[in-house]
Structure 1
Amino acid sequence: MKNFRALSVALVSALTLTGCGVIPGTGSDTRTVRIWLMQDSVSDDFLKRFTTSYEKDNPSVELDVTFQEWTGIGKKVMAALESGKGPDIIEVGNTQVAQYAESDALLDLTLESVRDLGNEQWLPGLAEPGSINGSQYGIPWYAANRVVIYNKDLFADAGITAVPRTRAQWLDASEQLDDNGVQGIYLSGQDWYTLSGFIWDEGGDLAVERGGDWQATLDTPAALRGMAFYKELQAHGDGPKAADEQTPPQAEVFAQGNVAQIIAVPGAATVIEKANPDLKGKLGYFPVPGKTAERPGSVFTGGSDLIVPEKARQRGAAIEVVKALAGTRWQTDLARTMNYVPNKTSLAGVLKDEEGTAAMAAGAARGRATPNSPQWAEVEADNPIKTYMTAVLQGKNAARAARQASERITDVLARG
């Protein structure tokens, strides 16, 4: 989702020893908090600022940060949790918390989330996946979600002077733009994350838990209405019906100059402008429109939570570091540095001067995450939702295709 320069940072500082329960002048009493962050999640400058400041304020603590690759991280985290020899803090994808919590190897951070971290203001798309059976195991850290990126020149040429704020306005604008060799919107047929938002807006869901069992719900009337809207919107462009947004990469298609809109994270603008420098200064952003103008549409929220292993060697010190990273000061710094959405809706104002990120933050307030089942990753591995979407866009019976997809997903979710 992000295009940031690679990082290779491991910061360890030896500092003067003071503090509660620590004997001054005894080097062996320094507590080293080991942290796993994901590659490219933060910049070199941000990490240096945080580490220097935190160690200055907490001279009995030093931070040892190691960066991990996303590929294969699930098995590596599970092994660390089981062995008790892993790090004290781990950054994980927000939708991964459930599979780690299932191991009973995560520290319950419910008290800290209520007492110290203002959990009532957290973005739902980060907070809900981190909460399992009423206990908070994942502390929201940062978020990113899709917005509409549009070509300002093509909007002006079509006589559109205001960005759409409702679904109806969005459909009208997309139809008006879809003319004279211009695609009103480029929307691939298997962009199931975008479909999820439309389903949520209709009051539906991808799957629900009933009595401890998960059941897919693509065949409900609400979910079918979400798919019907997707089909209507997708028709105002030439996006492939049997491929996702990476086949071909939609940012590269947009960069050709004859596409009015795509649905993507704001960072896609970097790819677009690199491919076509003539588009610099000509890109605009707005939140995915909702059914009414009062609030934007629902969107899938990606991002990261922070977890603390139950067997963490420096559990108390780790909790304090997590509280700092998730607190207002460093959330503000992280959001401005990395163009992320901060973990609280109350902090959205810190992004008001960044058009793309501000649009993202507006949508994040209505963000959601995928079903909180430990088996959901298996659903995505061979995703029946994509097959279902293609079938509907190619004219197959939507209710029948949705029922078939729901049955397949329910079977996968039952394997746990």
Structure 2
Amino acid sequence: MNFLFAWRYFKAKKSTNAINVIAWISMVAIMCITFAFIVVLSVFNGFEGLVKSLYSSFYPHVLISPKAGNKTILVSPEQLKQLSAVKDVVHYTRIIEEKTLLLNGDIQVPVELKGVDENYTKVTGVAQNIVRGQYATGTADRPVIVLGNGVEGALDLESDKNMFPLVAYVFKGGASVNVTDLYQSVAADNVTTGGTFLIQADIDNKYAITNIDFMRRMMGLKENEYSHLEIALTDERKGDAVVKNLRQLFGGNYVVETRYEQNKSLYGVMTLEKWAIYAILTLMLIVSAFTMIGGLTMLVLEKQKDIQVLKAMGANNRLIQKIFLSEGLLLAGIGAITGIVLAVLFCWAQVQFHLISLEGGTFLIDYYPVKLVAGDFLLVVATVSLVALIASWFPSRKAALQPIELKS
């Protein structure tokens, strides 16, 4: 019954036109903010999904690395067999990684050079992100290097057209740095460029990939000595269970991390940014709710006689309060539903026709990505409903406390 009264009050002509104007203003404000809620969160979801997919091309599901203070881990053939037998482990790859100085003539570029084995392409997606040349790492004696796009630019070359080899200076494993003669601490050799990968700027500007046996020879490491192991799973969602098993298998001398733990700061910043956006839009919604409070208060003043008649007919304070609470929820509901429909249409058009483009041309895509998530809709509807309920409470309480005075 309370919604029936609220609907009649919403449609009925008011004695003061300002009440209608304020009601429509409050609905339009809620519609615009709801639209902004859905669109902004969807754009954020699009960027978040894109960044995560790019990072997933380089970072493995699970990483086994040495504890702080150690540069390498010792992994026996028996441990590797046990690793292969762990449930949900599909592939693993052995990595030897070290800071390296690459020289192209007079140009010097420091990089993180990863020596990888033949299983590397089964664990990561680097081979699927080659933009020039081809993915090839060569052999221990004839190494080939795959450069990140940023590293290639810093070296001022094109990997598939470069005719002269680069010189790689690699620190020897366990060697102390002699500042008076650095050549005693490093090994140098020529490497041929094979290709270039393009994933994400933080990765492309930092990494290059070559053969694991070449890195072992340069650093003088043992046969079963590695920088870390990278592991691919049947399902990333099972990562926590696999990590628990691997920690029991390898013991406390190793650090075992999921992809989330490897990039905890990145995921943490993304989550913080999303909640910051939500907080800002919620604050805008709260400000717009004052318009609703003003409109409902004026409506209560206009309907004083109606309230007194209803009370005289037996309506209690709770029913009167419900009527005006329903009026506020009705205004908010119409605005929110309209905003959601417009937001969904806009997001669909953005995906189909790329209405708003990204400036600069430095990203992998040239338009703002959007991704609609059901949880965002529930969050927005719950937030709008809560704010509308709180905003309607004050005028509805005032209406409920009106005394019965049928004669003036």
TM-score range, shorter chain: under 0.3
The structure with the largest alpha-carbon Rg is: 2
Q: Give the alignment's TM-score, normalised by structure 2.
A: 0.23
- Richer in helix (by share): 2
Structure possessing the higher relative contact order (Cα contacts under 8 Å, 6 or more residues apart): 2
**TM-score, structure 1 normalization:** 0.22
